């Protein structure tokens, strides 16, 4: 056992490259079932593009399994474990991060570590903490990044000229624009992300957010948040009694003119919506002063996946400069790449730098300042505390 582990350690880097042809060979002809949140048409279209590419290059058939909620995939793997289905699981690859990753990793329901075995892994921007840690949980090679996301704010400049660039300024702005701002319900990741962003700005010592939550730490860190929220809530959309279900549902409210300002976890979402005619050209995207929460999206392979080799080929393709450059286009996914541009050849780099700037995207410099996601336990505690206080 110990010898095996030692051998594995020694073999890690060199063996990765030499093993890859055998992974490619095993992947040939495999059907990879990719469970991904299917609520975004842009992501679905991008995955359809990826599936055409991996079919052409590697003879892998990629089938997207569109989910309403990524937790469904977690439930599925847990149900399979419960049923003793340990070898022929139905899911080969999951678009995952944060609490869902933590839930599976903690139970040992993920295959790996596999990320280091992907040839394109060496191109990844390892310097970024949000790529090494997923909501502070060490990635440890159990998932591989494929895109990044960051909290931004989208507003309609036809109706409002100035929006708050500081969490502390939100209550005053809302009082001047009653009913024109809201954020998704706290059961949604974006809703809790907005509250966590406020926690970062208001907590006496934000460093505690990176450690697992304790009752004492939570009480201390959240006290200013509740005072702040008490000032904000009466001026929210529907007087803070009702909240939209998700980010896309809130985009619909912005299109309908029910609100003027909304958070989004996808810096390119507003730009893409403008290009698709789903938001007016007057929308703008901003990042708060001092930076906002950001994270990377990953793919992981369940412990019982039937087509692990095919899944690794897809994960590797997602990290290829071609796939990342395509993802960076606004009409595809938009948003910064997970690759280290310095590790690329000049020709590859050119494709990233050629990407056009437009008025609906946040200024690129603003996206540099990323705050790491708090430990997943904070989101759970924060949502529960919010529910206790504000659910009639």
Smallest distance from another protein to CB 337, Å = 24
Residues recorded for the chain: 392
Confirm if 93 and 300 have CB atoms less than 8 A apart: yes
Binding to another protein (CB under 8 A) within 165-224 occurs at 178-179, 185, 187
- In the complex with another protein, the residue whose CB is nearer, 121 or 142, is 142
Both tokens assigned to 114: 């596999």
Nearest by Cα to 283 from 275, 294, 292: 275
Interface with another protein: number of residues (CB under 8 A):
71
Q: Which stretch binds another protein (CB under 8 A): 36-44, 118-126, 129-137, 366-374?
A: 36-44
Q: Per CB under 8 A, which of residues 82..121 are in contact with another protein?
A: 82-85, 88, 90-91, 99-100, 102-103
Interface with another protein (CB under 8 A), residue from 119, 224, 234, 280:
280
SS3 358: coil
Q: How far apart are CA 127 and CA 144, in angstroms?
A: 15
Among residue numbers 293 through 322, which ones bind another protein (CB under 8 A)? none
Task: Mark the segment that binds another protein (CB under 8 A) among 59-67, 212-220, 346-354, 357-365.
Answer: 59-67
Residue closer to another protein by CB (options 342, 388) is: 388
Strands 292-300 and 370-372: parallel
β-pair type (61-67, 31-37): parallel
Nearer to another protein, 15 or 103 (CB): 103
Helices (H), the chain: 2-27, 41-58, 71-82, 99-106, 129-132, 170-176, 189-202, 215-232, 247-256, 269-275, 308-318, 321-328, 346-353, 376-390
224-263 positions binding another protein, by CB under 8 A: 237-239, 241-246, 248-253, 255-258
Write out the binding residues for another protein, residues 324-383 only, by CB under 8 A.
380
Binding of another protein at residue 5 (CB under 8 A)? no
Q: Are 91 and 305 in contact (CB under 8 A)?
A: yes
Using CB under 8 A, which of the segments 72-80, 114-122, 225-233, 332-340 binds another protein? 72-80
Q: Residue 66, interface with another protein (CB under 8 A)?
A: yes
**50, 60, 67, 123: which one binds another protein (CB under 8 A):** 67
Between 29 and 363, whose beta carbon lies closer to another protein? Answer: 29
Out of 14, 345, 365, 388, the only residue in the binding site for another protein (CB under 8 A) is: 388
CB within 8 A of 213, min separation 6: which ones? 375, 377, 378, 380, 381
Q: Quick one: CA dihedral 263, 264, 265, 266, positive or negative?
A: negative
What whole-number distance in Å separates Cα of residue 59 and Cα of residue 246? 36
Interface residue with another protein among 12, 28, 57, 387 (CB under 8 A) is: 387
């Amino acid at each position: 056992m110990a010898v095996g582990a030692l051998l594995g350690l020694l073999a890690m880097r060199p063996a990765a490259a030499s093993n890859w042809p055998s992974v490619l060979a095993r992947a040939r002809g495999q059907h990879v079932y990719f469970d991904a949140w299917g609520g975004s048409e842009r992501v679905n279209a991008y995955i359809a593009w990826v599936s055409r590419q991996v079919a052409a290059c590697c003879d892998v058939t990629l089938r997207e399994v569109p989910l309403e909620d990524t937790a469904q995939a977690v439930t599925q793997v847990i149900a399979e474990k419960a049923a003793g289905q340990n070898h022929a699981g139905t899911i080969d690859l999951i678009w995952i991060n944060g609490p869902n990753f933590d839930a599976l990793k903690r139970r040992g329901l993920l295959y790996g570590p596999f990320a280091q075995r992907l040839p394109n892994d060496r191109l990844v921007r390892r310097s970024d903490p949000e790529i090494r840690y997923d909501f502070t949980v060490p990635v440890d090679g159990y998932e591989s990044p494929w895109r990044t996301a960051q909290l931004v704010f989208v507003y309609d400049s036809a109706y409002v000229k100035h929006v708050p660039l500081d969490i502390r300024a939100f209550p005053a702005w809302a009082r001047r624009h009653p009913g024109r701002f809201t954020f998704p319900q706290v059961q949604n990741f974006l809703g809790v992300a907005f509250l966590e962003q406020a926690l970062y700005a208001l907590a006496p010592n934000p460093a505690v957010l990176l450690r697992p939550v304790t009752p004492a730490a939570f009480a201390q860190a959240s006290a200013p948040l509740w005072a702040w929220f008490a000032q904000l809530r009466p001026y929210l959309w529907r007087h803070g009694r009702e909240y939209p279900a998700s980010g896309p549902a809130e985009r619909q409210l912005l299109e309908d003119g029910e609100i003027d300002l909304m958070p989004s976890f996808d810096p390119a979402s507003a730009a893409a919506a403008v290009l698709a005619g789903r938001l007016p050209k007057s929308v703008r995207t901003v990042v708060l002063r001092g930076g906002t929460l950001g994270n990377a999206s990953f793919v992981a392979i369940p412990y019982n996946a039937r087509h692990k080799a095919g899944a690794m080929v897809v994960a590797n393709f997602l990290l290829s400069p071609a796939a990342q450059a395509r993802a960076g286009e606004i009409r595809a996914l938009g948003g910064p790449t997970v690759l280290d541009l310095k590790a690329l050849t000049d020709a590859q780099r050119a494709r990233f730098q050629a990407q056009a700037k437009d008025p609906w995207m946040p200024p690129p410099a603003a996206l540099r300042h990323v705050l790491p996601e708090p430990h997943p336990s904070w989101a759970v505690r924060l949502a529960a505390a919010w529910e206790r206080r504000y659910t009639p």
